[in-house]
Homo-oligomer: A and B are copies of this chain.
Amino acid sequence: MGVEIERKFLLTGDDWRSLGEPVLLRQGYLSSQPDRVVRVRIEGERATMTIKGRSSGATRGEWEYEIPLADANELLDQLCEKPIIEKYRRRIPHAGLTWEVDEFLGANKGLMFAEVELESEDQQFGKPSWIGEEVTHDARYYNSSLIRLPFSQW
C-alpha cells in the first residue's frame, strides 16, 4: 500500500494554461463507493488500475497496477460506471512540488481544479498565484462523485 496525501484547490485566472502541456486522461470506475474506489485510467499509452480506500483527513491508502491498454479500453467501454470522466491534465512544477491541473470535458465541462501531492499532512508549501479556494474536503469534487452528480448539474 502507498499512502496518498493530496490537497485540492480551485483556480483563479488563466495563467496556468500556458505553464504545462495538456494530456488527455480517460478514466472510469468499477467501484465508486467511498470505502473502496476502483479506478481504470488511460493516460497516453499507459493504463492503470488503482484502488483507493476511504479518506482519513487528506490521507488515503492507494494501490496501483499497470494493466494492458487494450484491457483498459474494454473495461472503460464495457464495464465502468457511466459517464466516463475525460479531462485534460497539465503538470506544473512550482517551488519544488508538482501541481496537477485538471480541466474537465463532457458532463463536467467548465470544472477545473488543481491538486498537489504532499509527503505529510502538515507539510508547508508555496502556492502559485493562480491557486484559489481549497476544496480538499468537499466530496462533490471527488472524481468518483463527478460521475454521479456531474458539474453541469450543480
Residues of A at the B interface (CB closer than 8 Å) are 1, 30-31, 33, 35-36, 38, 49, 51, 53, 61, 63, 65, 67, 71, 74-75, 78-81
Give 8 closest A-B pairs by Cβ, nearest first.
A31-B31, A30-B36, A36-B79, A1-B74, A38-B38, A30-B38, A53-B79, A63-B71
Q: Which residues of B contact A61 (CB under 8 A)?
A: 74, 78-79
Given contacts A30-B38, A31-B36, A35-B79, 19 further A-B contacts (CB under 8 A): A1-B74, A30-B31, A30-B36, A30-B51, A31-B31, A31-B33, A31-B38, A36-B79, A38-B38, A49-B49, A51-B75, A51-B79, A53-B78, A53-B79, A61-B78, A63-B74, A63-B75, A65-B65, A65-B67
A53 to B71, CA, bound (A): 13
Copies in the complex: 2
A3 → chain B closest CB, angstroms: 11
Is the CB–CB distance between A65 and B51 below 8 Å? no
Residues of chain B within 8 A of A53, CB atoms compared? 78-79
Query: A75 contacts which chain B residues (CB < 8 A)?
Result: 51, 63
For A31, the chain B residues whose CB sits under 8 A away are 30-31, 33, 36, 38
